[in-house]
């Protein structure tokens, strides 16, 4: 019984540690909070998916910079590091990678859409083509 409790505690600690690392220095926001921040602040909104995915539908006023392209860092360096930057992808994996890259580049105010555009659509938020 003690082994099971210790194992469960280890699993929970590992999951919490991974979660903390993912969000450390990056604000992970649900679709409602993400939308509120878009409305209030002068932000730079970046869709980090492929151009094909972007063409299928994206958040209003988003620019498209594919995180998987070799020129991602150079394109992001053109943005203002002092202004908030908000990133999203399909479900959250690529935007987490993009947020990490932005942090390394010196961006100070980074937000990531938890669940990506998938969660945005599920919450019936606006999309444009």
CATH assignment of the domain containing 89: 3.40.250.10
3-state secondary structure the chain: CHHHHHHHHHHHHHHHHHHHHHHCCCEEECHHHHHHHHHHCCCEEEECCCHHHHHHCECCCCEECCCCCCCHHHHHCCCCCCCCEEEECCCCHHHHHHHHHHHHHCCCCEEEECCHHHHHHHCCCCCEC
Provide the whole-model pTM: 0.81
- State the pLDDT confidence band at 40, using cuts at 50, 70 and 90: confident
**Boundaries of domain holding 32:** 25-122
pLDDT digits (tens, 9 = 90+) for 42-59: 899 999 999 999 999 999
Q: Report yes or no on 6 lying in a domain.
A: no
* Catalytic position from the list 46, 89, 98, 110: 89
Work out the average pLDDT over 18-29. Answer: 65
Lowest mean pLDDT among 12-16, 22-26, 81-85: 12-16
Q: Is 89 annotated as catalytic?
A: yes
Does position 9 have pLDDT exceeding 70, yes or no?
Answer: no
The predicted structure's pLDDT at residue 55: 98
């Amino acid at each position: 019984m003690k082994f099971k409790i210790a194992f469960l505690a280890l699993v929970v600690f590992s999951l919490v540690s991974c979660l903390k690392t993912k969000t450390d220095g990056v604000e992970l926001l649900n679709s409602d909070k993400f939308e509120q921040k878009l409305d209030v602040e002068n932000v730079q909104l970046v869709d980090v998916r492929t151009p094909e995915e972007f063409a299928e539908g994206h958040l209003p006023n988003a620019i498209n910079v594919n995180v998987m392209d070799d020129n991602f860092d150079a394109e992001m360096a053109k943005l203002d590091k002092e202004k908030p930057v908000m990133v999203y992808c399909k479900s959250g994996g690529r935007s987490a990678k993009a947020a990490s890259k932005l942090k390394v580049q010196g961006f100070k105010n980074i937000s990531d859409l938890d669940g990506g555009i998938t969660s945005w659509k599920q919450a019936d938020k606006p999309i444009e083509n």
